[in-house]
A and B are shown apart, each in its own frame.
Chain A
Amino acid sequence: MRISRRGFLKGSLATLFLAGTGLPVYSSTKAKKNLVVIMLRGGMDALCAVPVVGDKNFEKRRKQLILDDTIKLNSDFSLHPVLDNFHDLWKESKGAIVHATNIPYTERSHFDGQNLMESGGKVPYKVKTGWLGRGMKVAGLRQEGLALALPMPLILRGVPQNNNYFPTKGKLPTDKVLSLLKDVYKERSEDELIGMLEIIKSRPKERSYAADDLYSLANEAGALLKKPDGPRVAVFEVGGFDTHAAQGGVHGTHSDCLKEMDLVFGTLKKRLKEEFDNTLIVTLTEFGRTIKQNSGLGTEHGYGSAIFMGGGLLKNNQVYTDWPGLKSKELFQGRDLNSTIDARSVYASAMSTVFDIDFKRVQKEVFWGDKLQNLSDKLFRT
């Protein structure tokens, strides 16, 4: 391993020239800024997605999972070869990665981990709202959240009247029926149902078939985020990262999941056009995976992972990390990439940047004053 741990804190100097002038993105008129979160469920393997270059500790533990034809990002990290769209963003200085990061959760349960990655808390199932929903509440963003999923994910809860989009075919009831229902809900104090009926009433009465694949969802989200009066926050879900077996190399199961993530990046870029410059996309996962492959050519639940980021609100293309190393003694419990950056620092900084609210407020009102780093000036164009 050629890189020193602290050497990465300043990002990759080789790519800084692409960072632009550093001028503020916004004029005094303040453009609408969007925050998109892609939740990667199952435990995204950061060592597969953003492999470290030339590390013998890595190579000897992953003999069958080492990728060919990776894309070189800088002297120390490369990119999984299926991430074409992300690579395009990187080349335009609109793609960046935070590596060796995770939420402060080390128990390796998917379900507890996913609950915490969405709530931002430390005790599973204790917090009933999501960090994004609470952040929106602090920013006064009501009715500005959009989930591209059938359920309303926990991450968005905490602010009323978020919307979601997951198409189906059919005919909605008449306004009279909806109004009657609303009256009954009011009488019974069914506040949540009332809020949903309000949203439903604004939908077209007749819904024809529309695809619900990720591409179509990202396309729709892009169209809505682009509107000046559209949502400012969108949440996607990509599942299937839990590859205990047959994780594969370039064409394996993990790659398929990464491709899906990449599709969201690419579609949003294409659909948002110039508004992409006012957008920030971040990914989120519950944990990374073990450095060592198992005999089923998969990996087990781990700890440290990575955050992919895209959009014009990024400061530059960089792999931002406080690299912990991959020697046995440097691994978390001798088996996992360690996490040296609390991922919540990235999300708090992202909300501070996109929602134009003071970082300390986010820290205090969204994350209960937990010790987090303000990374806004390191990662984003503030």
Chain B
Amino acid sequence: MKNFFRKVAFGLGPDEQIPSDPLNWAQSQITDQIPEFTFKGKIYPEKELRKHYNKYVYQDRKVLRKKFKNDKMGYKAAKNKVKADTGQKFWRNLEIAIRHKEAISGAHPVLAKLWYFWGNHFTISEKDFLANYSTGAYQRETIRANMNQTFEKLAYESTVAWAMIHHLDNAENVGPKSEDARAEWRKRKKRPATINENHARELLELHTVSPNSGYTQENITELAYIMTGWAPDDKYWKTKLETADVKFQRKYHEPGKKIFWGQNFPKGKKGLPAVIKFLSEHPSCREFIAYKLCRYLITDYPTKEMTDPIVNAWEKSGGYLPEVHKAAIEVAFRFNNEYSKFQNPENWWLQMSRMTDANWPPREEKFDSFLLGYGLDPYQAKPHKFMKDMGHHPYLSQQPNGYSDIAEDWMSPELIIRRLLYARQGYINLKPGNKNDEFFKGVVEKNFDNSDKIMSILNQNEKTIDKHILLFNLPEVLRA
């Protein structure tokens, strides 16, 4: 039963009591309110971070390239200065620290684990400088902040979020019959306006109904027409470039009647919310999300028995996420003893850190003391470095479908080497008073039903570091 605390969260820390009612413990963390962040250092709004993004791209593109056009070394030095002045390597570390603090020290670890699920579902993959300035903040302000809303609201907010619009090229999605299509510069530069299908395709495939719903290429094209016009505000193009707030701009929108998947939709600004409502209410959407939630929490290949209660909760609540989450947790509880889920590297690392009350992430003061224009100290640089090396950086997935939730995708000699090496790192992160047998015994007894068996394995080693490495690579720890 104790593995349930890791299945839906990150295990129990040394100072936590074992809950007498695990299901209630987990479900009570899902409320109508999104709690404040546990991280008590300074947290920056996404818009403020985007200003840094803007400063970097503007300086690089509009100033430095011209100024240093004949001075390669001068250009490099000036560019490095702008990188430092805009915190290009800092924000991603701060964001991971905020994220990890929720899992390790927060009072709502179940919500944190679900937050990571949605961040991965509405992935912003590695593109341009999104990971450096924006993805972490997007996951805070768009994903987490809407986890007490309906799926429809979350899907809409993530679709029109600046980071997503930039990520999936919707700024390039221009109606061929739009006002902008008739612009003189297009004729002059021989660049006729066309749709860009990228965002429309991923909205269908990855974010809502999935290919199982049976949409066609024609439907993708129809949706792309509806999505034309949603782009960074071009009024500020000269100064903000691609970083202006997203706004519906009629001049880029394809005029005329909108038909998508055999149904009429409003033209103009109302089209996108209407189509997201339609997609969110589509049976394939709830089935797809239910399957993914079960795959994330319970097993690689969920059964209908698992997904049905989640689908039912969705139908009853109109896709209200707290109800959907509670249903998923209940299913995870019901199937807890029958299935154990291989934990992805980040969740495994966070479980190790929470269960052992390790010094992770670096303290808030470390981040608050950062000064723009200066380099990072080793502590400030660790979150990005560790997650990248583990192959599971939450802002650097290689493709828009995010990271896999299938065990086999996390199995390779090199990935298992990372588990061995980072189990060692986990030991280094332990508080000095916790590097002893008594402490390990407490961790094991609190988090595992077969504690005697585990301790007998660990006790075959003399060194506590070896016990630590062994413990966090045992099958019952790799899985939950």
Which residues from chain A sit less than 8 Å from chain B, CB to CB? 41-42, 63-64, 107-112, 124, 128, 147, 149-152, 157, 163-166, 168, 170-174, 176-177, 180-181, 184-185, 188, 190, 192-193, 196-197, 199-200, 203, 207, 239, 242, 244-245, 292-298, 300-301, 333
Please give, as numbers and ranges, the residues of chain A lying within 8 Å of B413 by CB-CB distance: 163-164, 196, 199-200, 203
Q: What's the minimum C-beta distance from B475 to chain A, rounded to whole angstroms?
A: 5
Which one, A64, A157, A176, A185, contacts B190 given CB within 8 A? Answer: A64
Q: Which residues of A contact B424 (CB under 8 A)?
A: 170-171, 173
Tell me the complex Cα distance, A184–B409, Å. Answer: 22
- Complex: how many Å from CA A170 to CA B425? 9
Pairs A-B, 8 closest by C-beta atoms: A296-B172, A170-B421, A152-B412, A294-B194, A150-B391, A244-B198, A295-B194, A199-B413
With A181-B470, A294-B195, A294-B196 in contact, is A152–B411 under 8 Å at CB?
Answer: yes
Does any Cβ of A come within 8 Å of B436's Cβ?
A: no
Residues of chain A lying within 8 A (CB to CB) of residue B359: none
Question: Distance (Å) between the CB of B292 and the closest chain A CB?
Answer: 13
- Contact A157 B201, beta carbon cutoff 8 Å: no
Is the C-beta of B457 less than 8 angstroms from some C-beta in chain A?
yes
Supply 18 A–B pairs (Cβ within 8 Å), ascending by A: A110-B399, A111-B205, A150-B415, A164-B414, A166-B414, A168-B421, A172-B420, A173-B466, A173-B470, A177-B466, A180-B470, A188-B475, A193-B411, A196-B411, A200-B416, A200-B420, A244-B196, A295-B172
Least distance between B163 CB and chain A CB atoms (Å): 16
Whether the Cβ atoms of A151 and B409 lie closer than 8 Å is yes
CB neighbours (8 Å) of B223 from chain A are: none
Q: Which of A41, A124, A181, A292 contacts B473 (CB 8 A)?
A: A181
Bound-state CA distance A150–B424 (Å) is: 19
Docked pose: A293 CA to B172 CA in angstroms = 12
Contact between B191 and A300, CB atoms less than 8 A apart? no
Q: A112-B211, A168-B389 are in contact. List 13 more A-B contacts (CB 8 A).
A: A63-B190, A64-B190, A108-B217, A109-B201, A111-B401, A170-B424, A171-B424, A174-B466, A181-B473, A188-B475, A192-B411, A294-B172, A296-B196
In the bound assembly, the distance between CA atoms of A124 and B401 in angstroms comes to 15
Q: Is the CB of B201 within 8 A of A193?
A: no
A151: chain B residues at CB < 8 Å are 391, 409-410, 412, 415
A171 proximity list for chain B (CB < 8 A):
421, 424
Judged by DSSP, the binding face of A is loop
In the complex, the answer to whether A295 meets B411 with C-beta atoms within 8 Å is no
Which among A168, A190, A199 is the interface contact of B475 at CB below 8 angstroms? A190
Q: Determine whether the beta carbon of A197 is less than 8 Å from that of B197.
A: no
Given A171-B424, A180-B460, check contact A301 B201 (CB 8 Å). Answer: yes
- Residue among A63, A151, A245, A295 with the highest chain B CB neighbour number at 10 A: A295
- Can you name the residue of chain A whose Cβ is closest to the Cβ of B195? A294
Q: How many residues of B contact A (CB 8 A)?
A: 51
Residues of A contacting B302 with CB < 8 Å? none
Question: Closest CB of chain A to B200's CB: distance in Å?
Answer: 11
Q: A304 vs B330: C-alpha distance in the bound complex, in angstroms?
A: 47
Q: Quick one: which of A170, A174, A293, A300 contacts B197, CB cutoff 8 A?
A: A300
- Are A298 and B469 closer than 8 Å at their CB atoms? no
Q: Give A292 Cβ to nearest chain B Cβ, in Å.
A: 8
How far, in angstroms, from A147 to B413 measured CA to CA in the complex? 10
B338 within 8 A of A: no
Given A107-B211, A152-B412, A172-B417, A184:B195 Cβ within 8 A: no
Q: B192 within 8 Å of A by Cβ?
A: yes
Residues of B within 8 Å of A239, CB to CB, are 398-399
Cβ of B178 to closest chain A Cβ, rounded Å: 10
B32 shortest CB reach to chain A, Å: 34
A197-B416, A294-B194 given as contacts; is B172 within 8 A of A245 (CB)? yes
With a CB–CB cut-off of 8 A, which chain A residues contact B401? 110-111
Complexed CA–CA distance, A297 and B220 (Å): 20
Q: How far is the CA of A363 from the CA of B81 in the complex (A)?
A: 58
Cα–Cα distance between A196 and B413 once the two chains are bound (Å)? 5
CA distance in complex: A147, B408 (Å): 14
Chain B residues near A64: list those with CB within 8 A: 190-191
Query: In the assembled complex, how far is the CB of residue A108 from the closest CB belonging to chain B, in whole angstroms?
Result: 7
Q: How far is the CB of A111 from chain B (nearest CB, A)?
A: 5
Interface pair B391/A157, CB less than 8 Å apart: no
Nearest-neighbour CB distance to chain B for A169, whole angstroms, equals 8
Q: Which residues of A contact B43 (CB under 8 A)?
A: none
